[in-house]
Amino acid sequence: MHCRLFPAVRPAVCMTVSLAVAGAGLLAFAPWQDAGKEWGVHDRARPQPALVTVGACCSAPSDAKVLFGGSDLSALQSGDGACKWIVENGELCVPKGAGNIQTKDSFGSCQLHAEWMVPESCECEGQHGCNSGIFFMGRYELQILGSNPNKTYVDGMAGAMYGQYPPLVNACKPNGQWNSYDVIFDAPSFNSDGSLKKAGTMTVLLNGVLVQNHREIKGATAHAAKAAYSAHAAKLPISIQDHGDPLRFRNIWIRSLGD
Ligand code: MG
């Protein structure tokens, strides 16, 4: 087997690959499943992934839909009306009593990037003072909470799938600093009788650190109650929570998956 790699990694990688191929006989020519179609190894006819232009750190790639880029609020709304959250210095702010906002468009499985910050002046006390959240499909919450420092129940801290899973680690930055979420959300699906066909999942990086690793969503987010699924549409708006606290947001973009 021809094995061209950097000298530092060549021995281990080449040995692993060689052993795998030798052990599997004709494995190198065996097809595998990919999106319902079978392809041979190194099949030249296999479609090329779309080329996208990658931005500098954290800016939207060319195939993303920008939900908030610093000024335009046209992708967001409050209920059916205009977005009641306001823009200050290129940041999306939550005026007192404005309520939740949501995307105008509906989404199912997606990749989402969002940055959020708890102002330094906020006093976090458990769930109070610096709380928000991103609700995929309007019902599955990825918690936003100032958590450095701020002790609360762990399935309600930053990086938690609220009420279901604590984050693997606390990667939250102190108040006054920007945090970033990068999320792969797989939407659940339902049978025609309304029963659950496939649970949804979330993979979440908080400030580039993995905090949820393909976690299976247990159902719609509930407070102090067990989560449960109820059938819903394949695509729904994403909402951002107004928990009464003056959090700030910037650079929010999304890529739909599985369309
Ligand atoms: Mg919340």
CA of 61 to the centre of ligand 1 (A): 28
Contacts of residue 203, defined as CB under 8 A and 6 or more positions apart, other chains included, come to 183, 184, 210, 212, 213, 214, 215
Least confident among 28-42, 79-93, 96-110, 220-234: 28-42
For the chain, how many residues are written? 259
| Arch. (CATH architecture) of 50-256 | Sandwich (2.60)
∠ CA 199-200-204, rounded to 5°: 145
Cis-peptide, bond into residue 31, ω within 30° of zero: no
Residue 72 has what pLDDT? Answer: 98
CA of 243 to the centre of ligand 1 (A): 7
Q: How far apart are CA 247 and CA 144, in angstroms?
A: 9
Query: pLDDT tens digit string along 191-203?
Result: 999 999 999 999 9
| Mean pLDDT on 157-167 | 96
Relative to beta strand 81-82, strand 239-240 is unpaired
CA of 73 to the centre of ligand 1 (A): 22
Domain limits, the chain: 50-256
CA of 246 to the centre of ligand 1 (A): 13
Percent of the chain with pLDDT over 90: 77
Contacts of residue 247, defined as CB under 8 A and 6 or more positions apart, other chains included, come to 94, 116, 117, 118, 119, 130, 131, 132, 144
The strand pairing partners of 142, in sequence order, are 134, 161
CA of 89 to the centre of ligand 1 (A): 24
Are 142 and 133 a contacting pair, CB within 8 Å? Answer: yes
Residue 204 has pLDDT above 60, yes or no: yes
Q: Which helix (H) or strand (E) holds 19?
A: helix 10-24
- Specify the pTM: 0.84
∠ CA 80-117-246, rounded to 5°: 55
Contacts of residue 26, defined as CB under 8 A and 6 or more positions apart, other chains included, come to none
Least confident among 23-32, 52-61, 121-130, 232-241: 23-32
25: left (phi over 0), alpha (psi -120 to 50) or beta: left
Q: Which helix (H) or strand (E) holds 206?
A: strand 201-206
| DSSP helix, strand, coil percent of the chain (3-state; round to 5) | 10, 35, 55
Q: How far apart are CA 219 and CA 164, in angstroms?
A: 9
CA of 155 to the centre of ligand 1 (A): 11
CA of 223 to the centre of ligand 1 (A): 10
Joined together, the tokens standing for residue 108 give 């199912």
Amino acid at 160: A
Dihedral sign for Cα atoms in the order 175, 216, 241, 89: positive
